[in-house]
């Protein structure tokens, strides 16, 4: 029975009622160009839409009577999706990128982590540095704290501290967030890139954004290699 109820919900009429799905006795009708036709019976409104080869679309069901527009519903749906895509682009999505270290991570590998962190922050992401302890290393956390202090100082021009170096089980973590100007610059750069793509005649309304996807792949690869890098550093320190 639960499956039947779920299927029923999935196949119900959409929230936006169109044409004969509008079942109220009368509606206030507006043309697509803003011209008011006034309050009509729903049947009269449907005839007006049919004569124009358009659809009657309920745009404000809570009004008394409900407000409907006569317009091309296919075009209306396309414009709604376009606006939703644009709103998503304007949102700044902040992810947390974790970079893992060991107390014995050497200076060279520490610089590698630092460069990766700056790339992530400049891309608008938060960075979580995690120093993992093994065995008796946890009894002497001073080296780990010095590493995190160094990384914080070297990214101070780009970040603010969201979480100071804190012990979490057998690890010490520091979380840094991009400063507001970093996010503002990123949004500005993306807007300029979209404008340049429009000037070149490229489709900027597509849902996929290859540049971001390529960046995500690179970041994931970097994170996956952290433990291996640390192990190699212990075996053959420079």
Residue 167's nearest CA partner among 134, 137, 141 is 141
pLDDT in tens, 135-149: 889 888 999 999 999
CATH at residue 231: 3.30.110.10
Residue 96, number of CB atoms within 10 A of its CB? 13
Query: Could you tell me if 167 and 110 lie in one domain?
Result: yes
Residue 44 domain flag: yes
Residue 66 domain flag: yes
| pLDDT the model gives residue 31 | 93
pTM: 0.51
Query: Could you tell me if 116 and 219 lie in one domain?
Result: yes
Last residue of a domain, one of 41, 73, 105: 73
Q: Could you tell me where the beta strands, DSSP code E, fall in the chain?
A: 26-31, 36-41, 55-60, 67-71, 96-101, 126-132, 159-168, 171-178
Sheet of 55-60: strands edge to edge? 36-41, 26-31, 67-71, 55-60
Residue 218 domain flag: yes
Residue 38, burial from CB neighbour count under 10 angstroms (0-12, 13-18, 19+): exposed
> Which residues lie below 8 Å from residue 112, measured CB to CB, with a gap of 6+?
229
CA distances from 156 to 22, 38, 113, 189 (A): 59, 61, 15, 22
pLDDT in tens, 182-210: 989 988 888 888 888 888 887 665 544 44
Residue 170's nearest CA partner among 142, 129, 137 is 137
Could you tell me the residue range of the domain that residue 11 belongs to? 2-73
pLDDT tens for each residue of the chain, 238 residues long: 444 444 444 444 457 899 999 999 999 999 988 899 999 999 999 999 999 999 999 999 999 999 999 999 999 888 888 888 877 766 656 789 999 999 999 999 999 999 999 999 999 999 999 999 998 898 889 999 999 999 999 999 999 999 999 998 899 999 999 999 998 998 888 888 888 888 888 766 554 444 443 333 334 444 444 444 444 434 444 3
CATH at residue 32: 3.10.20.80
């Amino acid at each position: 029975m639960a499956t039947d109820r779920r299927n029923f919900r999935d196949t119900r009429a959409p929230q936006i009622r169109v044409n004969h799905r509008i079942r109220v006795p009368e509606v206030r009708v507006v043309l697509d160009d803003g011209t008011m036709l006034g309050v009509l019976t729903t049947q009269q409104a449907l005839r007006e839409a049919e004569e124009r080869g358009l659809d009657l679309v309920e745009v404000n069901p809570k009004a008394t009577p409900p407000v409907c527009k006569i317009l091309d519903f296919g075009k209306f749906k396309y414009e709604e999706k376009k606006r939703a895509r644009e709103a998503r682009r304007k949102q700044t999505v902040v992810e947390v990128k974790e970079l893992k270290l060991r107390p014995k991570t050497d200076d060279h590998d520490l610089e590698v982590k630092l460069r990766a962190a700056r790339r992530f922050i400049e891309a608008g992401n938060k960075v979580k540095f995690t120093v993992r302890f093994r065995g008796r290393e946890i009894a002497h956390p001073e080296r780990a704290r010095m590493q995190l202090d160094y990384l914080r100082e070297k990214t101070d021009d780009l970040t603010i501290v969201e979480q100071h170096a804190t012990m979490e089980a057998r690890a010490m973590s520091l979380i840094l967030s991009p400063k507001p100007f970093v996010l503002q610059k990123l949004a500005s750069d993306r807007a300029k890139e979209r404008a340049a793509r429009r000037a070149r005649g490229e489709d900027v309304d597509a849902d996929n954004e290859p540049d971001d996807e390529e960046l995500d792949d690179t970041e994931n690869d970097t994170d996956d290699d952290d433990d291996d890098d640390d192990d190699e550093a212990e075996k053959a320190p420079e």
